[in-house]
Amino acid sequence: MFLIDNIKTYYGNIQALKGISLKIESGEIVTLIGANGAGKTTTLKTIAGLLKPKEGSVMLDSKNITGYPAHKVVKESVILVPEGRRVFSKLTVEENLKIGAYSRNIKMNKLNEEIKNIYTMFPRLEERKNQYAGTLSGGEQQMLAIGRGLMAKPKILLLDEPSMGISPIVVREIFHIIKNINKNFKTTIFLVEQNAKMALSVANRGYVIETGNIILEGTTEELKESEEVKKAYLGD
């Protein structure tokens, strides 16, 4: 289980998160939806150790990882796939995937076996395995970023805006893959997303964040039926 309790995070004197709390059970897909600037990415950066909260706690199972630097968070198998994908553009697809497993220090035969598993999930990456990542389309780079994250064998995979800058057809494909990762690998996923419709189509539960506060939470069905969510995020 992953538990965030009363987290308050600042950028200088500006408070971005105002005491948010949320829970993610093992094996769930939980989504955090909200407008641009609401605090979604800040939440993920705080969890991932890129920002240090002034108050509150981040618990992974029974372990307090609050304020851990990013490399220690990775060692705890909490893996962030960042907004904008951030692939290594001058390295090949396969080199990017290998970097994903760097912290695990595994043997070459095991590494190659795991890369094959990623290629099974993302056939387009195998077709382009010797291609520089910077030459891939936006959708292919997103697949690579997710594949690289999976190479770290995450206990929880943090996905930041996976639909950003991708065509609607590829967005549907990416979200289908996200659901399959959760189903087939039992990977716990925390999904931050502006595209509320797509996020709620794959998640088990969700939270709505507004100006650094959690204003709603519930099952995806409950959120889909919420008049506030319909009006603000679903276009109904």
**Does the pTM exceed 0.75?**
yes
- Phi and psi, residue 66, nearest 5°: -60, 130
Is residue 23 included in any domain, yes or no?
yes
What are the backbone angles phi and psi of residue 127, rounded to the nearest 5°?
Answer: -60, -25
Does residue 171 form part of some domain? yes
User: Could you list the residue range(s) of the whole structural domain that residue 25 is in?
Assistant: 2-86+153-234
**What pLDDT score was predicted for residue 57?**
96
Q: Answer yes or no: is 225 within a domain.
A: yes
Rounded alpha-carbon distances, angstroms, from residue 183 to 108, 124, 145, 161, 188: 27, 21, 19, 20, 10
| Residue among 29, 6, 173, 153 at smallest CA distance from 79 | 153
Find all residues with CB under 8 Å of 128, minimum gap 6, and list them. 93, 136, 140
**Angle ∠(45,156,83) on CA atoms, nearest 5:** 40
Tell me whether residue 92 is in a domain. Answer: no
C-alpha–C-alpha distance, residues 208 and 223, integer Å: 9
Q: Tell me whether residue 162 is in a domain.
A: yes
Cβ contact 121:147 at 8 Å: yes
Q: Which whole-number Å values give the CA distances from 109 to 112, 116, 130, in the listed order?
A: 5, 11, 19
Phi, psi of 129 (to 5 degrees): -60, -25
- Provide the 3-class DSSP secondary structure of residue 184: helix
What's the rounded Cα separation, in Å, for the pair 33 and 116? 33
Residue 108 lies in a domain: no
**How many domains does one find in the chain?**
1
Determine, yes or no, domain membership for 79: yes
- For residue 62, what are the CA distances in angstroms to 2, 3, 93, 202, 224? 9, 9, 36, 27, 32
Per the domain annotation, does 179 fall within a domain? yes
Distance CA 122, CA 99 (A): 17
pLDDT by residue for the chain (236 residues), tens digit each? 899 999 999 999 999 999 999 999 999 999 999 988 999 999 999 999 999 999 999 999 989 999 999 999 999 999 999 887 788 889 999 999 998 887 777 888 888 888 998 999 899 999 999 999 889 998 899 999 999 999 999 999 999 999 888 888 889 999 999 999 998 888 999 999 988 999 999 999 999 999 999 999 999 999 999 988 888 787 65
pLDDT value, residue 236: 55
Domain of 214, CATH number, reads 3.40.50.300
Distance CA 236, CA 218 (A): 19
